[in-house]
Every structure is written in structure tokens, then in C-alpha cells.
């Protein structure tokens, strides 16, 4: 089980990092790490579009009497074919609008049915997914359990070779690859119960929230009666995916350019109700352009994890009369990972935290829009334990601990930081100065994100800091890898922590899961293989003419059919 879990988690980790690091960075860089691995076929055909577009192949423009909304994001698109791209944030949302996931989180971190109306389990092994009785494809064909089965089998095909939806966890997949046999028509871990019900069987206990978050939110179900016409080789390259004409979601794709826009037109036959907005554009811009776009009305709304608004523009955007500002839940953690083999004494690692005035960093760098926590979980998580009080700023305590540990100050710690995160690049200067004040020398090396991830993989560093979003409802995959011993970003392993993490997967009771994560986070204070510098509440904004829409970290497009414009 451990081998399966490690492979699943390590690949998921790469996707989560790509999704979260650039999304919440302060640089506003348009390139970033998210969604850059689209296939050549999509890049060549995507910008040609299939419907009305603006001048020079730009995003769709409204005809007289039509309503149009522009969503401003700073992430670049990897592609729109769910079989061919990873599920980084912008890719996931771009696909969600066409092909609904089974479930999605709402802005209050409750799971909301999308294509499914329920996912249940009685033993944390067998998961029953029931498709909404009203769910139909845009051509009027009912959405069925066979659509789910066929889609999952294709995701698990070694020909499609999708490494995003890591299906190692389910019976019938190969332990080494996570795939089934080429052209498989069935899988031991999938059972169609009736027209609207399908059962998944896991190889080992999995919390309901893990299934819902890792699979319910990321399994995009495709219409079997359409895609069964394609060979498995064609599923990753067929032009149909660039402008699919049979969808389950609220919007048809009409055109896209990976670096500039994605355009949609309303699915008037959407089974949850015809969208009030006729045309929807996702405009891909540089972070420095967001303020001007909001001011002019060329951008109607932003989203916290796809839109990196520079910190220096926060006040200016708050001052706009045509815009309402909404700060998101604190979910993105500025984490510092310590290679414990290089700094083996926990007292030294504790001193690193006591020496930093983290509250000052929140107040000055984030203008108060964030919080200080210890461990992995912020107050946004249902598993957050408010009884775990963050370690205070206490430089004298830091000096005492260093003296006890026999720290002589001769070692210079190698501290790697993401150069694209301008806010933290400024903050790290303060941190290093505060360490120096207690007798800890550190040398900062700023590198781009890709290089930072390479360094992280080599584990050849003493401390490495990067923004990381631990899914509030399901931190297990990330945390279990990060504390997985040799080869992980911390090199840290403790039997007590491993047992607590396994315990989170054997129950669905919030109180019991919270108790287990409290064990983990308490050990983080004691052993400090990582620490949270701060947790960010990112800024979002919406034009006051747009109703029914609100920037939110989760659930942004859940009810997009209800968005409307009032002049």
C-alpha cells in the first residue's frame, strides 16, 4: 500500500504545485508553471477557434442585445482536452465549463453535486456515485453510469497515458503504472449498478473527502456515445475536443489561444438552466494589467487562485468605484521545508521559527490579508484545530535553544526561494536579518519556479520556501508525501505522524479526522521539519454590474448559469 500511495501522491504533488505556486504568486507573471504542457496539436489548432471571435482572432464579442462577461486570469492555458492535459487550475476550469465534474466544492468548502447528486461510502473502500436524474448531454441523451465507466477506462488506458487522474488507488489498475490493459472494457474497481449508479472499489481505505476531492472534482465525464467513435490514440489529438458539440456543462467552447483567451457561448439546453450570460471569455493577461482592466471594465471579475494580482495594486483596486473587492479564504501557505538530514537538531529548527516575527510579515507584506499558523492547516480547513497556538516571536527563546544545541554559528544555511514571488523575495530579506540577530547565518538563492522544483527534487538544500495550497478538505495526499521520509522535501518520518495520517483515511467523522491532523500539526511544532511563514488571503474583484457572481477560492463557476448583468 505504501508504494501505491507514494506514487499517487508524488505525481499529484507535481500537479498541485503547478496549480498553486503561480496562481497565488505576487509577481503577476503570465507564463508561470501552470498549464504549460499542452500538446502541439492543441496549440496549433486552438487559436483558430470555431465560433465568433473578436478582431485578430481575439475573444468572442457580443452581438447587439447579447450579454458578455470577461474573466481576467494570469495563468496560461495548457489545453482543453481532458485526456491530454493536466488538471491545473485554469485547465480544470476551462474544461469544467464544458464537461462537469462529478462534484465540486462550494465557496464554504461543502461538496456540491455537479454531474452527480451524491457520493457515499459505508466502509471507505466502496464508493457509490449516483448521477443526477436530470443530467443530460446537450443533444438530449441522458448522462449515465456507463458514461462514467467508459471515461474512467479511457483515462486509465496506457495509450492515453494520462498521469493526472492517478487511478492506482482502485482495484483493477496496475500497481506499477496505474493503468488497465489497452482497450479494456471493464475494470475490477468499477461496477455499473444501474443506469445512474456506479461503484468504485479502492485497494485500501480512503476518506470520503479524499475520494470526493481527488476524483469527484477532477473526473471530467465524457459522452460515451460520441467518444467511443474515436480510437484510444485519437482521444488525445482529435480536433473534436477543440470545439466539442456535445457537452454536459453550461458553455460550448468557441475558440482559444493558450496565452491570450478562451471563449465560450451559452448552452441554451443546459440541464441546470440556460445561462443568462450569452458569451463568456476567460482573458489571459499579465498581472500588471489586471488593475487597468478592472478600471476600464474590460475585466468583469477575477478569481483568487487563477489571478495573481500584484500586492502593490491592492489599494488601487479597492479604491475603484465600479468594483467590489472580496478577499479569499486563507488557503495558500507560504511554506518553508527543511531538509532535516542537514539540520538534524529539532532545537535548531525550532529556533528558526522563534526568530521570525511572522505577524509583522502578514501586516507589512500582506497588508493584514493573511494569518499565522503552525503546520499545514489554515483556519479555512474543517480540520483546523484552534487549540494549536502558533509559536510566538521570541528571539531570546531562539538563542536559548541554539545554545542548548551547541550551535556555534559557523554553518551557513542554503535557503532557496522562488524569484517569481516578489512579495516573499522582499520578505525573505527580513527573515534572514532576524535569523542573523540570533546567530543563524543564511544565504539566499533566488531561482525561477522550474529551477526551484528541480532543486526540491534533488533535496540539495537546507531550506526551501514555496507557496503551497494544501486542499483544506483533503490535505492527506500532500502531507503524507512531504513527511514521507528520505527523498521527500523534508526527509522527515515519524511513526506517530504516519499512524495519524493513516487514521484520517479510515473514518469520515470530522471530529476524528481533526484529532488525527492535530497530532500531525503538534509534531510539526515539536520537530519542525517544515513551518508556515504565513497563509495568504488573496484579493479578488468583481464589477458591480455583474450579479450572481462572486470571486471565491472554490466553487467559482458552480452556478455560472445564474450570473447576469445589470446596467
Per-residue pLDDT band at 449 (split at 50, 70, 90): confident
Lowest mean pLDDT among 49-58, 188-197, 352-361, 423-432: 49-58
Q: Look at residue 10 and tell me if it is in a domain.
A: no
pLDDT tens-digit readout, 325-339: 999 999 999 999 999
pLDDT at position 293: 98
Q: How confident is the model at residue 33 (pLDDT cuts 50, 70, 90)?
A: very low
What are the tens digits of pLDDT across the range 122-169?
A: 999 999 999 999 999 999 999 999 999 999 999 999 999 987 777 999
pLDDT for 2 beyond 50: no
Please tell me whether residues 118 and 265 are part of one structural domain: no
Domain limits for position 377 = 332-536
- Do residues 65 and 166 share a domain? no
Q: pLDDT higher for 19 or 375?
A: 375
258 confidence band (pLDDT: 50, 70, 90): very high
pTM of the model: 0.84
Per the structure, the count of domains in the chain is 3
Among 242, 271, 299, the domain boundary falls at: 242
Between 146 and 46, where is the model more confident? 146
pLDDT tens per residue across span 376-408? 999 999 999 999 999 999 999 999 999 999 999
Based on the fold, state whether residues 48 and 176 are members of the same structural domain. Answer: no
Whether the CB-CB separation of 292 and 317 falls below 8 Å is answered with: no
Q: CATH number, domain at 62?
A: 3.40.190.10
The answer to whether 514 touches 531, Cβ cutoff 8 Å, is no
pLDDT value at residue 63: 80
Question: How far is the C-alpha of 219 from the C-alpha of 204, rounded, in Å?
Answer: 20
Report angle CA 310, 314, 317 to the nearest 5 degrees.
Answer: 115
Rounded Cα–Cα distance for residues 425 and 26 (Å):
10
Q: Is 1 contained in some domain?
A: no
Res. 62 pLDDT band, cuts 50 70 90:
confident
**CB-based burial of residue 31 (10 Å sphere; 0-12 exposed, 13-18 middle, 19+ buried)?**
middle
Residue 162, domain CATH: 3.90.76.10
Kindly state the percentage of the chain with pLDDT values over 70: 90
Res 502 pLDDT > 70 = yes
For the CA atoms of 55, 61, 63, 64, the dihedral, rounded to the nearest 10 degrees, stands at: -110
Whether 414 maps to a domain, the answer reads yes
Q: Are residues 93 and 114 in the same domain?
A: no
> Residue 356 has which C-alpha cell?
521570525
Mean pLDDT calculated for residue range 94-115: 96
> Which stretch of 78-92, 250-264, 291-305, 539-553 has the lowest confidence by average pLDDT?
78-92
Q: What confidence tens digit (pLDDT) does each residue in 464-492 have? A: 999 998 999 999 989 999 999 999 999 99
What's the pLDDT score for residue 217? 95
Integer Cα distance of 400 and 348 in angstroms: 10
Given 207, 242, 277, the domain boundary residue is 242
**pLDDT band, residue 369 (cuts 50/70/90):** very high
Considering the domain boundaries, does residue 18 fall inside one? Answer: no
Mean pLDDT, range 65-86, rounded to an integer: 93
15 domain-assigned: no
CATH code of residue 498: 3.10.105.10
Considering the chain, what is the average pLDDT of its residues? 89
Specify burial of residue 475 (Cβ count, 10 A radius: 0-12, 13-18, 19+): buried
313 & 420 share domain: no
CA distances from 516 to 79, 525, 531 (A): 38, 15, 18
Q: Give the pLDDT of residue 552.
A: 95
Same domain assignment for residues 213 and 178: yes
Whether residues 373 and 481 share a domain: the answer is: yes
Residue 42 pLDDT greater than 50, yes or no: no
Q: Is the pLDDT of residue 350 over 60?
A: yes
> At 300, is the secondary structure helix, strand, or coil?
coil
**Cβ atoms of 394 and 354 closer than 8 Å:** yes
Amino acid at each position: 500500500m505504501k508504494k501505491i500511495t507514494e506514487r499517487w501522491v508524488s505525481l499529484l504533488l507535481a500537479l498541485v504545485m503547478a496549480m498553486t505556486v503561480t496562481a497565488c504568486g505576487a509577481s503577476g507573471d503570465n507564463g508561470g508553471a501552470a498549464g504549460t504542457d499542452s500538446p502541439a496539436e492543441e496549440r496549433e489548432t486552438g487559436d483558430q477557434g470555431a465560433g465568433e471571435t473578436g478582431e485578430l482572432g481575439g475573444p468572442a464579442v457580443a452581438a447587439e442585445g447579447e450579454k458578455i462577461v470577461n474573466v481576467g486570469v494570469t495563468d496560461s492555458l495548457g489545453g482543453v482536452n481532458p485526456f491530454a492535459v493536466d488538471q491545473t487550475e485554469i485547465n480544470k476550469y476551462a474544461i469544467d465549463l464544458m464537461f462537469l465534474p462529478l462534484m465540486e466544492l462550494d465557496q464554504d468548502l461543502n461538496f456540491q453535486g455537479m454531474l452527480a447528486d451524491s457520493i457515499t461510502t459505508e466502509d471507505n473502500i466502496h464508493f457509490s456515485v449516483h448521477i443526477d436524474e436530470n443530467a443530460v448531454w446537450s443533444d438530449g441523451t441522458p448522462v449515465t453510469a456507463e458514461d462514467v465507466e467508459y471515461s474512467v477506462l479511457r483515462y486509465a488506458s496506457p495509450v492515453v497515458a494520462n498521469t493526472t487522474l492517478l487511478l492506482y488507488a482502485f482495484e483493477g489498475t496496475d500497481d506499477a503504472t496505474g493503468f488497465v490493459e489497452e482497450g479494456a472494457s471493464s475494470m475490477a474497481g468499477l461496477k455499473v449498478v444501474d443506469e445512474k449508479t456506479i461503484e468504485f472499489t479502492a485497494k485500501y481505505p480512503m476518506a470520503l473527502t479524499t475520494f470526493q476531492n481527488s476524483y469527484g472534482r477532477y473526473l471530467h465525464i465524457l459522452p460515451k456515445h460520441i467518444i467511443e467513435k474515436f480510437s484510444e490514440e485519437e482521444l488525445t489529438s482529435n480536433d473534436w475536443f477543440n470545439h466539442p458539440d456535445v457537452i454536459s456543462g453550461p458553455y460550448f467552447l468557441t475558440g482559444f489561444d493558450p496565452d491570450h483567451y478562451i471563449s465560450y457561448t451559452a448552452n441554451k439546453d443546459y440541464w441546470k438552466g440556460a445561462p443568462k450570460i450569452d458569451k463568456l471569455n476567460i482573458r489571459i493577461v499579465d498581472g500588471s494589467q489586471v488593475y487597468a482592466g478592472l478600471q476600464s471594465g474590460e475585466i468583469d471579475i477575477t478569481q483568487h487562485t487563477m489571478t495573481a494580482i500584484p500586492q502593490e495594486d491592492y489599494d488601487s483596486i479597492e479604491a475603484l468605484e465600479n468594483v467590489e473587492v472580496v478577499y479569499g479564504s486563507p488557503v495558500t501557505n507560504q511554506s518553508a521545508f527543511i531538509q532535516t538530514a542537514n539540520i538534524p537538531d529539532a532545537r535548531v529548527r525550532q529556533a528558526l521559527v522563534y526568530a521570525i516575527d511572522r505577524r509583522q510579515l502578514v501586516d507589512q507584506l500582506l497588508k493584514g490579508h493573511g494569518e499565522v499558523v503552525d503546520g499545514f492547516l489554515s483556519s479555512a480547513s474543517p480540520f483546523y484545530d484552534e487549540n494549536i497556538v502558533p509559536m510566538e516571536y521570541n528571539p531570546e527563546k531562539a538563542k536559548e535553544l541554539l545554545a542548548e544545541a551547541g550551535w556555534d554559528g559557523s554553518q551557513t544555511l542554503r535557503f532557496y526561494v522562488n524569484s517569481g514571488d516578489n512579495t516573499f523575495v522582499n520578505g525573505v530579506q527580513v527573515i534572514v536579518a532576524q535569523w542573523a540577530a540570533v546567530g543563524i547565518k543564511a544565504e539566499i538563492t533566488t531561482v525561477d519556479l522550474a529551477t526551484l522544483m528541480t532543486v526540491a527534487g534533488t533535496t540539495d538544500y537546507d531550506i526551501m520556501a514555496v507557496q503551497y495550497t494544501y486542499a483544506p478538505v483533503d490535505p492527506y495526499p500532500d502531507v503524507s508525501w512531504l513527511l514521507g521520509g528520505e527523498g521527500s522535501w523534508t526527509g522527515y518520518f515519524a511513526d506517530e505522524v504516519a499512524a495519524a495520517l493513516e487514521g484520517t483515511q479510515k473514518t469520515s467523522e470530522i471530529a476524528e479526522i481533526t484529532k488525527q491532523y492535530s497530532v500531525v500539526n503538534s509534531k510539526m511544532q515539536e520537530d519542525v521539519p517544515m513551518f508556515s511563514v504565513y497563509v495568504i488571503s488573496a484579493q479578488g474583484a468583481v464589477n458591480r454590474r455583474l450579479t450572481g457572481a462572486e470571486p471565491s477560492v472554490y466553487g467559482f463557476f458552480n452556478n455560472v448559469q445564474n450570473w447576469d448583468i445589470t446596467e
